[in-house]
Structure 1
Amino acid sequence: MSSVASQLGESYSDHPLRKAFLRWQCRVRQMSMREQDGRPDDAIMPAVVLPGEAEPMGHIITVMSKSPGYSVTSELVHMSAKTNDPAQRRDAAIRFLSAGYYQNAVEFSDILTATFPPGSEGAAKIHDAGECRLIFDAYVQSFDLTCKVWRLAPHNLLHKATVAHNTLFNPNMPPDTAVLGFEPNWKDSSSDPAYG
């Protein structure tokens, strides 16, 4: 992995579309936690379109993590370690994530992540393509993001944050779960209604 942004967990773009997307994501993810018990919907599960393809290969569940300076990964790990009861873990996660976690969009990385089962052919296909489009379409808003795709190593900050987050909702996640990072190119991305 050679992108400084992917290593540090954030880009430094001040593109208006980036700001609009992060604000929207914070709002819809907080709604998901407060109104749907954390169940993901189309605002969190974009369609994945590979280069040269007209149709999506499917949908993925994305995670949006805090930038390193605002990281709460250790708190998420601590929540998982406090109990072996999956229901108690999930309840604690929903309480934590529905409170103030998504209040300030500037605290978040614009690099989205997703987990895949070990040996996933879908993950390999997305990674091998090197880039893809993530199409979010929900609540009369859509974002079409052109993204560079990274396979994140276990020591990567976003890998750690993603595993800590997802373990709260899936305690049986295999230790060799694959984590891909999606780094948007904001100049090549768009939204409807348009921003900027």
Structure 2
Amino acid sequence: MSSLAAQFGQSFSDHPLRKAFMKWQCRVRQMSMRDEDGRPGDPIMPAVLLPDQAEPLGHIITVMNKAPGYSVTPELQHMAAKTNDPAQIRDQAIRFLSSAYYQKPEEFSDILTATFPPGSPGAAQIHAAGRCRLIFDAYAQRFDLSCKVWRLAPHNLLHQATVAHNKLFNPALPPDTEVLGFEPDWAQSSADPAIR
């Protein structure tokens, strides 16, 4: 895995754990959109464990973005720009994201992203560590992902997709919002129950 993967949002791993995680994430995110009106819950809010730390730093809300060949960033940006009514934008976003958006796990990048407020000490701490573990635990399934951490520049495709997605739910997102990318090392990650 290299910065090239982070730049373009594409991993070419066919690791069985990757496939199982991506399929699970698509399912739980679609459920969140359909059953929880898009409100984030445990399945998409992993605990962040920094190296040599016994306790998690906290939980973050992750975004799963389409890989560049399947990007819908322009559509998301258009949805946010069509009206100034946050309720209308949110309704359109939920309709769009709860329909077929999460139907094909293979269309998504396995580099998860998360936004942080400008100058966030937490983001600085996570980025400075260079690596972390993201621990997802919901619906009797646990994934413990060992990740390389990237600070994504505004021109990065995953940065743009993340901001476009989050603006649908938070139109007041500051323009200098920080975006971190979490690139899993599938060989160093695990699942419980184990993936066969």
Distance 2:13 2:54 in 1: 28
Distance 1:142 1:78 in 2: 36
Does the residue aligned with 1:122 lie in a helix, a strand or coil?
helix
The equivalent residue for 1:168 is: 168
Does the residue aligned with 1:167 lie in a helix, a strand or coil?
helix
Offset from partner CA, 1:16-36 (integer Å, 9 cap, x none): 000000000000000000000
Distance 1:77 1:84 in 2: 13
The equivalent residue for 2:54 is: 54
1:177-196 to 2 correspondences below 5 Å: 177-196=177-196
1:145-160 to 2 correspondences below 5 Å: 145-160=145-160
The equivalent residue for 1:26 is: 26
Does the residue aligned with 2:42 lie in a helix, a strand or coil?
coil
1:1-196 to 2 correspondences below 5 Å: 3-196=3-196
Count of residues paired in the alignment: 195
Q: CA RMSD in A?
A: 0.6
Distance 1:54 1:16 in 2: 28
TM superposition shift of 1:51: 0.1
Q: Counterpart of 1:167 in structure 2: which amino acid?
A: K
Does the residue aligned with 1:63 lie in a helix, a strand or coil?
coil
Q: Counterpart of 2:88 in structure 1: which amino acid?
A: Q
Offset from partner CA, 1:97-130 (integer Å, 9 cap, x none): 0000000000000000000000000000000000
Query: Please, what TM-score do these two structures have when normalized by structure 2?
Result: 0.99
Distance 1:150 1:19 in 2: 22
Q: Taking every aligned residue pair, what percent have the same amino acid on both sides?
A: 77
Offset from partner CA, 1:41-69 (integer Å, 9 cap, x none): 11000000000001101000000000000
Offset from partner CA, 1:123-176 (integer Å, 9 cap, x none): 000000000000000000010000000000000000000000000000000000
Large movers: runs of 4+ above 2 Å: none
Distance 1:116 1:43 in 2: 19
Offset from partner CA, 1:56-107 (integer Å, 9 cap, x none): 0100000000000000000000000100000000000000000000000000
Gaps of 5+ in 1: none
Q: Counterpart of 1:27 in structure 2: which amino acid?
A: R
TM superposition shift of 1:3: 1.2
Does the residue aligned with 2:44 lie in a helix, a strand or coil?
coil
Distance 1:109 1:89 in 2: 25
